Amino acid sequence: MIFLLSFFWYARTARALLFVVYLWQLKEYHIGRFSQYFTTAKGKRLLLHPFTAAKLTLLLLWFFEPQIAFALLIFLYIGETVLLFNAIYTKTFVLPVITRKTVVLIFSVFFVQSIFLAGVFLYFISSLFFALLFFDVLSLLIGSLVVLLWQPYAVFERRGILKKATEKRRKLEKLKVVGITGSYGKTSTKEFLAHILEKKFVTLKTPEHKNSEMGIAHTILYDLTDEHEVFVCEMGAYGKGGITLLTDIAKPTYGIVTGVNEQHLGVFGSSMNLFSAEGGGELVQALPQEGVLIANDDSRQLHELGPWLQLWNPDFVNYVWCSTKTRKDFFAKDIIIKKDQLSFTIVGKDGGEAKVNLPLVGGHNVENILLAAAAACNLGMSMKEIEDALKDIPARLSAMAIVKGKKGIEILDSSYAANPTGVFASLEHLGLWQGKKIVVMPSLIELGLASHDVHVKIGRKIGEVCDLAIITTADEFPALLRGAKESGTKEGSVVFLENAKEIRDRVFAFAREGDVVLLEGRVPSSLLSLLKS
């Protein structure tokens, strides 16, 4: 019985420790983002899981009926192990992405787990029941401590890598670097700009999900060569000073600010800290006087911040403002948005024009392409060269895609990421369909004090556009429901469902051929495959 208990304990605890490593990696080993997770409904549920309460109850039962408590614990661990294998079978088992760091962390947490179990068998076998439950209940804390214990070494190694990358970048004196920051649209703008520039320059861009200091440093060290003429560098941050750290490494000569919204406000702590980093303050501070900053005037917050940006670098004057709504330095006109097609005309600062007709999904792409075109023009490309470069742009560069679903429905897949501006853009695009419109989305995270108001506004938009909304997380569900009701949505049209199969069943019970389902943000990973044909 002892060995049986230990086996099932080891299996369920291994899963718990793997999840801890996964969660730390997902939150980019940022303590603020990691702790924010436990303010969400999923995080609270993890801390207050019914299994935890059951195990604490078994501790009390041990004093009165030790044999029954022992048997019940084995039964409970068997149940958790069955759930583990079911998660593997249904492909819902989450694992960290394998990197050198995660391999070290996985080995470390398993080493601690194994040493603990061996120590209990050798020295505390009489206390096996309590020891295993102790480690079990505290596995989240223990796994986190292992991760944090490696941080000093990670910081030491990180400093060495950053120093080498900074020195290498400094030697590439002729290299032109475009730093891209903002609360949203960074990746799409980076991809569009790199695609345009590759037609004329030897261009390097940061890989997907590599917008942190280590991602940028590794790109400079291992990918950047003397042959490259332009480096397009996406820059992300989760705190004041984060962009300064990245500009110290990459030394941008040009900058793009894609826009600012409430995304990550909860991590930054204040609007001023957010505007400092994602709003472009630190980026413009780093630009040389002959450099250029391209900014999105369609972002309300960024438009209002225009004069404030100059405080960061009073002598810097080379601002280029872009808009799809008004006549700025670069602007778009004659915009026609279809389900899977965009056409518009880019008008440059000197009056030159580039006519664009692209197989891209979503009107938000116009803003990103406009910013990319403005940057390319300032790097020396003509409007004709930009127009020609855009002719073969691949549809995959759009953040949204249209997928054929079962029973003749269409799926608007925007599950890459979610932020307030992106949600409104997706819902706006959803309005182009004639049939019934369904949205499946989680509540947004890391919005701080702005969270409630933002979700009420999203709820209003849902009420205006959608016939059915399925919300996959409990956080801010009442705010979304309130907003939807304010727009006159019918009772029962906004529902909370977490399970992918239940969501699928609800969609197909409601939708018919010609209807459309928008998947927005981090919906259950298996949902797309359950819906598509």
User: φ and ψ at 209, to 5 degrees?
Assistant: 65, 25
Tokens coding 364: 């938000």
How far is residue 135's CA from residue 46's CA, in Å, rounded to a whole number?
Answer: 16
Is the confidence at residue 35, as pLDDT, over 70? yes
> Are the C-beta atoms of 193 and 203 separated by less than 8 Å?
no
For the chain, give the percent of residues with pLDDT over 90. 68
Q: Which has more pLDDT, 197 or 49? A: 197
Of 43-52, 392-401, 406-415, give the range with the top mean pLDDT. Answer: 406-415
Is residue 178 helix, strand or coil? Answer: strand
pLDDT of residue 265: 65
Report which residue type is found at 160: G
Tokens coding 517: 């389902």
Over residues 127-140, the mean pLDDT reads 91
Q: What is the DSSP letter of 206?
A: P
For the chain, give the percent of residues with pLDDT over 70. 99
Domains of the chain (ranges; CATH) run 2-149 (no CATH), 169-395 (3.40.1190.10), 401-531 (3.90.190.20)
Kindly give the pairing relationship between strand 410-414 and strand 401-404.
antiparallel
Q: How confident is the model at residue 309 (pLDDT cuts 50, 70, 90)?
A: confident
Q: Residue 270: which residues within 8 A CB-CB, separation 6 or more?
A: none
Is the confidence at residue 310, as pLDDT, over 70? yes
pLDDT of residue 139: 95
> Are the C-beta atoms of 261 and 301 separated by less than 8 Å?
yes
How far is residue 97's CA from residue 110's CA, in Å, rounded to a whole number?
Answer: 17
Over residues 349-378, the mean pLDDT reads 95
CB count in 10 Å sphere of residue 369: 30
Q: What is the DSSP letter of 1?
A: -
What residues pair up with 319 in beta bridges, in sequence order? 293
Q: What is the DSSP letter of 392?
A: T
Kindly give the pairing relationship between strand 516-520 and strand 410-414.
parallel
Is the confidence at residue 386, as pLDDT, over 90? yes
Is residue 356 helix, strand or coil? Answer: strand
> Are the C-beta atoms of 184 and 211 separated by less than 8 Å?
no
Please choose, from the candidates 277, 371, 286, the residue with its C-alpha nearest in 3D space to the C-alpha of residue 321.
Answer: 371
What residues pair up with 438 in beta bridges, in sequence order? 468, 517
Sheet strand arrangement including 319-323: 203-205, 230-234, 176-181, 254-257, 292-296, 319-323, 330-338, 341-347, 353-358
Q: How confident is the model at residue 264 (pLDDT cuts 50, 70, 90)?
A: low
